[in-house]
């Protein structure tokens, strides 16, 4: 921190009392948690997409195995 930042903080404390600091911390906390919630939601959406693709791939593999089984049964 440089001297101007400290002076700015000191002026803010004089003008708003310690409650101003509490308000500033509350706003900061709200922004941080908001950003975190957005990132978690994006991650959840990505995981859902991956799970859907995996389910589709498994269904395709299962149908291919069943088709192979039917082909083997027909040849014997």
Question: pLDDT tens for residues 8-64?
Answer: 877 877 788 778 778 878 888 998 899 999 999 999 999 999 999 999 999 999 999
**In the chain, where the domains are located:** 3-75
DSSP the chain: --HHHHHHHHHHHHHH-HHHHHHHHHHHHHHHHHHHHHHHHHHHHHHHHHHHHHHHHHHHHHHHHHHHHHHHHHH-
Band of the pLDDT at 1, cuts 50, 70, 90? low
d(C-alpha 57, C-alpha 24), whole Å: 50
pTM over 0.85: no
Q: CB of 12 within 8 A of CB of 19?
A: no
The CA-CA-CA angle for residues 69, 72, 73, to 5°, reads 85
């Amino acid at each position: 921190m440089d001297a101007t930042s400290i002076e700015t903080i000191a002026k803010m404390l004089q003008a708003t009392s310690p409650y101003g600091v509490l308000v500033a911390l509350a706003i900061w906390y709200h922004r941080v948690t908001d950003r975190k919630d957005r990132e978690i939601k994006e991650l959840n959406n990505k995981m859902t997409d991956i799970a859907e693709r995996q389910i589709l791939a498994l269904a395709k593999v299962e149908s291919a195995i069943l088709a192979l089984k039917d082909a083997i049964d027909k040849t014997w």
